[in-house]
Amino acid sequence: MKRTFADRADAAHRLAEALRETITSSVIVLGIPRGGVVVSTIVARDLGAEHGVVVARKLRAPTQPELAIGAVTASGSLCLDEDLAILSGASPRYLAQERELQIAEARRRETAFGSHARPSVVGQTVIIVDDGLATGATAVAAVRAIRARHAAHVIFAVPVGPPHAVATLRQEADDVVCLLVDSAFRSVGQYYDDFRQIEDDEVMALLNDVGD
């Protein structure tokens, strides 16, 4: 079956083109590490925008670590699916421990990414970018963190996602740009021919190269 995007670069160029129809002023583009930064780097370059990151970490289900029951940022901004957390067997004690663990990891990554991690967004239009939506938890946490830093207008931009996640983001962001909303969504990777794993050193290289 033909995938929708050849790779993250292909998705990024298409996303930037769609965003040109939405933005009317200068913007700051922030990617969600790791894969989202590959997309956001190209979006920022295509739009001639300042670029950085916003770090969000998923909260893992107790016995299914691949399942996100929520997400948190370095600042503590939280998105939690309470029903899913209960169904997964996550106790209040587990949630508290997992939240603190992921906040610490988010802060570690922010430190590693340096000044790219916390550009000033006060009064600015900010576009938050990821390479795909699944539950939407990390996206919501990221939007809330940027709002708390007093951005004037927050747009969430993504190549693909399921209807329920896009609908959730529309309640959080001022605008959502999603190239493909698919009710048959199973995973982000199914829409890419190349959806390889991205490591922190590649994220750092992209952040240091943007604008060069």
Residue 119 confidence class, pLDDT cut points 50, 70, 90: confident
Q: What is the mean pLDDT of residues 92-106?
A: 95
- Phi and psi (nearest 5°) for 186? -120, -45
- The residues, any chain, with a CB within 8 Å of residue 98's CB and separated by 6 or more, are 59, 60, 90
**What is the structure's pLDDT at 1?**
46
- For residue 200, pLDDT over 50 is answered with yes
**What is the structure's pLDDT at 138?**
93
Q: How far apart are CA 209 and CA 168, in angstroms?
A: 33
**Mean pLDDT over all residues of the chain?**
91
**What is the structure's pLDDT at 115?**
67
- For residue 212, pLDDT over 50 is answered with no
Q: Name the residue with tokens 């329920």.
A: 164
**What is the structure's pLDDT at 22?**
83
CATH code of the region 8-55+116-209:
3.40.50.2020
Sign (positive/negative) of CA torsion 179, 181, 187, 191? Answer: negative
pTM, rounded to two decimals: 0.91
**What is the structure's pLDDT at 194?**
95
The token pair at 103 is 């906040």
Q: Which of 61-70, 112-121, 156-165 is the most confident on average?
A: 156-165
Chain centroid, CA 37 distance in Å = 9
Ranges of each domain in the chain: 8-55+116-209
Q: What is the mean pLDDT of residues 116-131?
A: 90
Q: Which of 36-40, 105-109, 153-157 is the least confident region?
A: 105-109
Run of H or E including 147:
helix 137-148
Q: Name the residue with tokens 């009317």.
A: 24
- For residue 90, pLDDT over 50 is answered with yes
- For residue 148, pLDDT over 80 is answered with yes
Q: How far apart are CA 140 and CA 116, in angstroms?
A: 20
- For residue 204, pLDDT over 60 is answered with yes
Q: How far apart are CA 116 and CA 4, in angstroms?
A: 30
The token pair at 134 is 């699944």
Q: How far apart are CA 185 and CA 201, in angstroms?
A: 30
Residue 117 confidence class, pLDDT cut points 50, 70, 90: low
- For residue 211, pLDDT over 50 is answered with no
- For residue 2, pLDDT over 60 is answered with no
In the β-sheet with 68-73, what is the strand arrangement from edge to edge? Answer: 56-60, 68-73, 78-80
Render pLDDT for 176-195 as a digit per residue (tens, 0 to 9): 999 999 999 999 999 999 99
34: preceding bond cis by omega (within 30 degrees): yes
Q: Are 39 and 12 in contact (CB under 8 A)?
A: yes
Residue 22: closest CA among 179, 182, 180: 179
- For residue 25, pLDDT over 90 is answered with no
The Cα-based distances of 156 to 103, 188, 212 in angstroms read: 22, 16, 25
Q: How far apart are CA 58 and CA 141, in angstroms?
A: 9
